[in-house]
Amino acid sequence: MSQKFSSLFSSADVHYLSALYEKYKQDPRSVEPSLAAEFKKLDEGSAGAEAAQDKPSWIPAFRLELTNPLEEDLREIKDKKGHASKDGKTNESSVGKAVLAAALKVAALVEAYRRFGHMAVPLDPLHLKPVIGHVELTPEFHGITPDEMNLEVELPLFGFKTALVKDVIRWAEATYASRIGFDFSHITDLTRRQWLQHRVESTYIDFSKQDQIEILKGLTKADLFERFLAVKFPGAKRFGLEGGDSLIPLLEFVLQYGAHQKLSEVVIGMAHRGRLSVLTNVMDKPYAAVLSEFKYGIPIHRELGSAGDVKYHMGASTDRIMADHTLHLTLMPNPSHLEAVNPVAMGKVRARQDEFKTQDAAMCVLIHGDAAFPGQGVVAECLAMSELKGFSIGGTYHIIINNQVGFTTNPDCSRSTYYSSDLAKGFDMPIFHVNGDDPEAVVFAGQIAAEYRAKFSSDVIIDLVCYRRHGHNEGDEPVFTQPKMYGIISNHPTPRIIYADKLVQSGVITQAMVEEFKTQFEQQMQKAFDETESYKSVKPDWLEGRWSHIKTDDDKSQPVTGLDLKKLQSIGEKLFTVPSHFNLNPKIARQIEQKKQMLITGKELDWGTGEALAFASLVAEGRKVRLTGQDSQRGTFSHRHAVLTDQVTEETYTPIHSLTAEKELFEVTNSLLSEASVVGYEYGYAYNSPDALVLWEGQFGDFANGAQVYMDQFISAGESKWLRKNGIVLLLPHGYEGQGPEHSSARLERYLQLCAGGNMRVVNCTTPANFFHALRRQLHSQTRKPLVVMTPKSLLRHKQAVSDLAEFGSGKTFRPVIADANLSSGQGIERIVITSGKVYYDLKTMLDGHLDKKIALIRLEQYHPFPEADIVAALKSHTGAQVIWCQEEPQNMGAWTFVRPYLEKVLEALKFKHALQYVGRPAEASPAVGSDKVHAVEQQRLVEEALNI
């Protein structure tokens, strides 16, 4: 029965009344007769209300007639509020029949305001969207009669010692249904919800004169910056903020708050809308710089190998002194792909927090579009990672610039929810809906949101309802599709004018001051415009700060990544020793023992051992290693066991942690079941961290195409577009083993197509030692490049895919090409098969049975940068031989189309007698067959054909 009350009341009232109600249910005579009568009525009344609720008549035709209380009402009522009695209880004997009934009903109404009040807030500056309100916000719904309005009730739980029913309603309306839509009743955590209730119910919007002037100045910058650009560069694309101008004072406040919190960095991720305004008005990019970009185009640093990007995609960083504190601000560069930057910004924040060993080091601010927020799946993925231990960043501050349109699309076509922000309701995050023409409400909501984020380390959402003054861009005609809206907008004053009028009318400032602020800013812009004549763009910030030891170009030769064998053995000893009290699974215990023996004998180290030695040796050098992916702790194929689970207690043990006092140097985390957000996040982590090995592992390589945006827009092209290096590693299980179309190919061809000019390294290693060197090279080369690895599946346990310890030893390096020994010693080689990856072992196994054949194999271990010199060295003495490229992938996939021009060039230069030949599966629509039997036949055929056996 308490459920019945909980829908009507809150906390202690509910318990108290529930107890009485239970008593009444047992025996109606056990409670005071008047109360019994009230309970009886309530039973009948609530049945009626439930019945009324069944009728959908209020959706959406219902329109609440609000009295729209003035702020003064709120002050007056709040100031009159008494303090709740300590125990929050009402004296049963003093509860008069009518008074108690009224108290119960008005309490239910207040609760409804807490839940649905936001639906009655006039949020649309254009007044186009009706304020639909909610049927439960009417006194009638709760059976409150006009006579009861003047009854004095005790409502200690709402802070009223005593109050007239009508005043309580006016207070609830003014608090929850007037200027800010507080949308948090979905929050399940009681402490958080109560904190919000208390915060919201105990204060009102009351800015000092100084604050009001600051808000006006923010609006002035926002408004006149765009207007100046519009006048000087009519029709030029700038994706103006106009209409959403309140974003600027809001951001200013959020940064001020961050400075007070002593954050060292704020990382902002945002799309096109209002970006130039944020760059200049918030990030302090000189106005002259932006104006000169409009005038002369964006400077492109071809001398640094950069292709550049359009001005509204470029990032920036700056230091701002606020509240006697230096706050570093970063605006992430981003592609057109809306919302794609979100996890990248989050990953960068996490890296910064890890570096400073506190979540207080950095905060992420993400600015969204109202159409993009519900539409782009990566938004949901990022919300889903917000509380996960491998990914949490102490709460992201989200702002939706809700201009009520996406390009030409209206909300009825862009979302299935009432609010643009509704997705966030599934994540226990508070949402604050505000009207962009009420900048004080915007900043006030922003303040509560910032406090909440700081207190609960939780995401918060500001839904800034505004409009877009022009078309999607300034050259676009909005009237074609939204004629009514744009008819209204053309006569609608800017937020600056509306707010300035309000301040003048209320006597805060004079009209002369408004004009002075305007003139001052216009003069500043004109001065900046004049400076463009002689403006020299500043040197790009490229490889500065923590990147200053990184060189622009890759090493001329492979850096030495081998280690002293004794050192490796001592690392291995720690890696493969588990505390005696730890209850190891017997199978894993056997495996660990075998690995220990490999280290002792120095013979036949397997793949997992090679990988573990790479990670552990980097950690022992004091480098950070961070690996995420689905089931990456154990490893999808059980080869890693980087985290062990006690079979009795389920406690975990991470052997690599035994190599360092700083456990955080090795972090391997099972990720949520997402590709896009996790790849983006790790790219962001690596973006911040030149000295960390940051890896993402696909469960199977082909799942990585769920993160394709990050390969195409960030990993392959980020350095060229934005002059930002990145050493992320993608581990992508790949290989044809008869497992069907979806688990064979990591779509190698996709990565190779993205390769040019050494932008990334793409490898397919056939030995544990070479994989070890490829990983260590990421931090030991003089520059940073993304590394894409086609990782094996069956080779994880293949008897021949092993390396002796000596191959990991001092002086050893990564080998881009591994050629059979007979190429350097033997003469008369007739056939040379160049191949890569797992099929090498199929070829070798067959060849081992035909040692009389004059055939040699060359393994291409790195596709890009293409190791031309190594291939030349291997081939040059055998110009009479037939050279074959052999792959197990279909002809339209795999490496064939990528390697072909390189190999043909080499053969031509060396004057080979025969043309290059292709052996592999024929072109196919699907990567592999569904039957392992058919696969085996195909595999046998291609191996025989390659070897001509």
Ligand X SMILES: Cc1ncc(C[n+]2csc(CCOP(=O)(O)OP(=O)(O)O)c2C)c(N)n1
- Residues at the interface with Mg ion (CB under 5 A): 369-370, 403, 406
CA distance 588 to 327: 49
By CB under 6 A, tell whether 366 contacts ligand X.
no
Mask of contacts with ligand X, 771-800, x by CB under 6 A? ------------------------------
By CB under 6 A, tell whether 407 contacts ligand X.
yes
**Residue (80 or 237) nearer to ligand X, CB:** 237
Please select the residue that binds ligand X; options are 143, 390, 395, 406, rule is CB under 6 A: 406
Place of tokens 């291995």: 572
Which among ligand X, Mg ion, none contacts residue 14 (Cβ within 5 to 8 A by kind)? none
Count interface residues toward ligand X (CB under 6 A): 15
Which among Mg ion, ligand X, none contacts residue 829 (Cβ within 5 to 8 A by kind)? none
Please select the residue that binds ligand X; options are 217, 295, 301, 337, rule is CB under 6 A: 337
- What DSSP letter does each residue of 480-523 carry, written as one string? GT-HHHHHHHHTPPPHHHHHHHHHHHTTSS-HHHHHHHHHHHHH
Which among ligand X, Mg ion, none contacts residue 103 (Cβ within 5 to 8 A by kind)? none
By CB under 6 A, tell whether 465 contacts ligand X.
no
Please select the residue that binds ligand X; options are 336, 511, 519, 926, rule is CB under 6 A: 336
The angle, 0 to 180 degrees and rounded to 10, between the axes of the packed helices 565-575 and 586-601 is 170
CB atoms within 10 A of CB 645: 18
By CB under 6 A, tell whether 471 contacts ligand X.
no
CA distance 237 to 915: 52
Pairing of strands 180-183, 316-322: unpaired
By CB under 6 A, tell whether 204 contacts ligand X.
no
By CB under 6 A, tell whether 62 contacts ligand X.
no
**Residue (472 or 838) nearer to ligand X, CB:** 472
**Residue (338 or 711) nearer to ligand X, CB:** 338
Q: Is 629 left (phi over 0), alpha (psi -120 to 50) or beta?
A: left
Report the nearest approach of Mg ion to the CB of residue 129 (Å). 14
Residue of minimal Cβ distance to ligand X? 369
Who's near 249: CB < 8 A, 6+ residues apart?
214, 215, 218, 219, 222, 439, 442, 443
Report the nearest approach of ligand X to the CB of residue 53 (Å). 33
Report the nearest approach of Mg ion to the CB of residue 270 (Å). 13
Instruction: Return the closest-CA partner of residue 268 out of 288, 256, 286, 254.
Output: 254
Q: Scanning residues 215 to 274, which ones bind ligand X (CB under 6 A)? A: 273
Report the nearest approach of Mg ion to the CB of residue 400 (Å). 9
- What DSSP letter does each residue of 695-753 carry, written as one string? EEE-SSGGGGGGGHHIIIIIITTHHHHH------EEEEE---SSS-TTTT---HHHHHH
Q: Which stretch binds ligand X (CB under 6 A): 224-232, 369-377, 555-563, 588-596?
A: 369-377
Report the nearest approach of ligand X to the CB of residue 338 (Å). 4
Instruction: Return the closest-CA partner of residue 251 out of 296, 215, 223, 209.
Output: 215
Please select the residue that binds ligand X; options are 122, 156, 369, 690, rule is CB under 6 A: 369
Report helix, strand and coil shares of the chain as percent, to nearest 5: 50, 15, 40
Q: Scanning residues 538 to 567, which ones bind ligand X (CB under 6 A)? A: none
Radius of gyration (Cα) for the chain, nearest Å? 34
Tokens encoding 478: 């909005």
Is 929:935 a contact under the CB 8 Å cutoff?
yes
User: Residue 917 pairs with which residues in a beta bridge?
Assistant: 884
By CB under 6 A, tell whether 126 contacts ligand X.
no
**Residue (482 or 726) nearer to ligand X, CB:** 482
Q: Which stretch binds ligand X (CB under 6 A): 100-108, 403-411, 506-514, 752-760?
A: 403-411
Report the nearest approach of Mg ion to the CB of residue 403 (Å). 4
Which among Mg ion, ligand X, none contacts residue 372 (Cβ within 5 to 8 A by kind)? ligand X
By CB under 6 A, tell whether 403 contacts ligand X.
yes
Q: Mapping DSSP to helix (H, G, I), strand (E, B) and coil, where does residue 416 land?
A: coil
Report the nearest approach of ligand X to the CB of residue 402 (Å). 8
Report the nearest approach of ligand X to the CB of residue 49 (Å). 38
Instruction: Return the closest-CA partner of residue 496 out of 231, 131, 226, 204.
Output: 226
Is 459:363 a contact under the CB 8 Å cutoff?
no
Q: Which residues bind ligand X (CB under 6 A)?
A: 273, 336-338, 369-372, 401, 403, 405-407, 468, 472
